Structure 1
């Protein structure tokens, strides 16, 4: 699939930052960058907004756009490469191959709790799916998700074996930009131990939450159980808008 122009520009700017191409830790102005990359101002603005959302750059009113020095010191904290909040991009590790194994996929009538969380009626139906994620064939995460059929009426099993959020952006021009997450730790259950090769009662991180599209529509209700070796949570907090 063709990459969006703003994403290509964003990736190039990030590489230039790592190669120390910008003097004084400051990026050229938006107009100059747009002319340099031969893209529209709106595409350039989108690329810079994504870099700012990721915490890689920050805007100082009246002075310009500057590189966050923390990005150069600890890139692992800023390794997310997409405009979505998907796990596929969030868990990218240099030199390691990520794979998704679909464990279960079917349609169910929304329960009262699911309907409330996804702003559905109790007569609506949702996809229920379970996926196992692996890094270099090491299982590290079990994900159970619920997705309204009306958002993706033709969802196929093969789509769930790749990044669902990136598919949504590439095929439907929609992005998942917000999430409410609750993060806890608890002893592993039998399924965790079997699928992620954990010892009895070995700990797992549990992330439960709701992901939202950029227009505010609830997109997915998700429960993710993470192998404790991979439960390393970093957060960039933006107290702006």
Structure 2
């Protein structure tokens, strides 16, 4: 059955190109999340399209959650739900970060199991390949909306007796490590890359297939410098941003 026979028409190529131009403009260095976009007349002049077409495209972007209208104040790039600081103390867990952003944190434990460390995981955690580890995957929520999928790998000898029910009861892994195992998180070292989500990831984070994600991979260490956790965090690109704040160093001449 064709699109026309089903009562639906595909957008014209010129319309799709105009939409791409607007998205490209909003993706430049001039704009950031939470910024107000130019007035309609300015956008019409900048991109070269009719005001009717522009309004239709903006309405679609509002429906998609990319833009938001604020009454008579105009149209704004929607603020990300969670701003994750890269320079704050690592012991501040994701639940606390969510609360700082003014949202109610939530978590769903997808699986919790024991496994044998692969060569790569063993190297990162400073253990031997084949040593027992704890693997857990959690879906994180802010105001009941999923924004992050986290997989953790911990050496079993650091957390003997740890169970899924204990984790669900305490909520925060780092508080559990501190209170029960006297392991105090001190630092982390990792990377942030853009990667295409897997089917499981885009399904859980409720985004279209082939959506890019902000993926953090890092090793978290304790106050003695020993690895405690290897973390893989897949973040919703429209709900999470990473914030960097470095002090300005002044030189004395």
Q: TM-score, normalised by structure 2?
A: 0.59
Of 84, 87, 90, the residue aligned with 2:91 is 84
More displaced 10-residue stretch of structure 1: 79-88 or 143-152: 79-88
- SS at 2:140 equivalent: strand
Indicate the RMSD between aligned Cα atoms, in angstroms.
2.6
Distance (Å, rounded) in 2 between the aligned partners of 1:220 and 1:77: 19
What are the within-5 Å matches in structure 2 for residues 1-241 of structure 1?
Answer: 84-93=91-100, 95-161=102-168, 162-237=171-246
Cα deviation per residue 1:27-86 (whole Å; 9 max; x = unaligned)? xxxxxxxxxxxxxxxxxxxxxxxxxxxxxxxxxxxxxxxxxxxxxxxxx78799977142
**Bigger mean CA offset, 228-237 vs 139-148:** 228-237
Distance 1:78 1:115 in 2: 28
Asked if the contact 1:130/1:142 (under 8 Å) is kept, the reply is: yes
The residue aligned with 1:54 is none
Mark the CA change 1:86 to 1:205 in structure 2 (over 3 Å): closer, same or farther. Answer: same
CA contact (8 A) 1:186 1:203 kept: yes
Partner-residue secondary structure (3-state), 2:166: helix
Aligned residues: 165
C-alpha distance in structure 2 between counterparts of 1:224 and 1:180, whole Å: 13
Per-residue Cα deviation, 1:97-153 (whole angstroms, up to 9, x for no partner): 111101011111111111111000124100111110111111111111110011110
Counterpart CA distance in 2 for 1:77 and 1:187 is 20
Counterpart position of 1:18: none
Q: C-alpha distance in 2, partners of 1:205/1:132?
A: 15
How far off its partner does 1:188 sit?
2.0
Structure 1 contact 79–92 (Cα < 8 Å) conserved: no
SS at match of 1:228: coil
Q: Tell me how far apart the structure 2 counterparts of residues 79 and 179 of structure 1 sit (CA, whole Å).
A: 10
Question: What do residues 183-202 of structure 1 show as CA deviations (whole Å, max 9, x unaligned)?
Answer: 01122221122101101112
**Relative contact order, CA 8 A, sep 6+: which one is greater?**
2
> Which sections of structure 2, spanning at least 5 residues, go unmatched?
1-82
For 1:140 and 1:196, locate their aligned partners in 2 and report how far apart those are by CA, in whole Å.
Answer: 6
Cα distance change of structure 1 residues 194 and 150 upon mapping to structure 2, 3 Å threshold:
same
Q: In structure 2, do the counterparts of structure 1 residues 95 and 232 end up closer, same or farther at CA, with 3 Å as the change threshold?
A: closer
TM-score (structure 1 length as normaliser): 0.62
Q: Secondary structure in 2 aligned to 1:142?
A: strand
- Runs ≥4 residues deviating over 4 A: 76-83
1:154 is paired with a residue whose SS is: coil
Deviates more, 1:181-190 or 1:217-226: 181-190
Query: For the structure 1 residues 117 and 195, does the alpha-carbon distance in structure 2 shift closer, same or farther, using more than 3 Å as the test?
Result: same
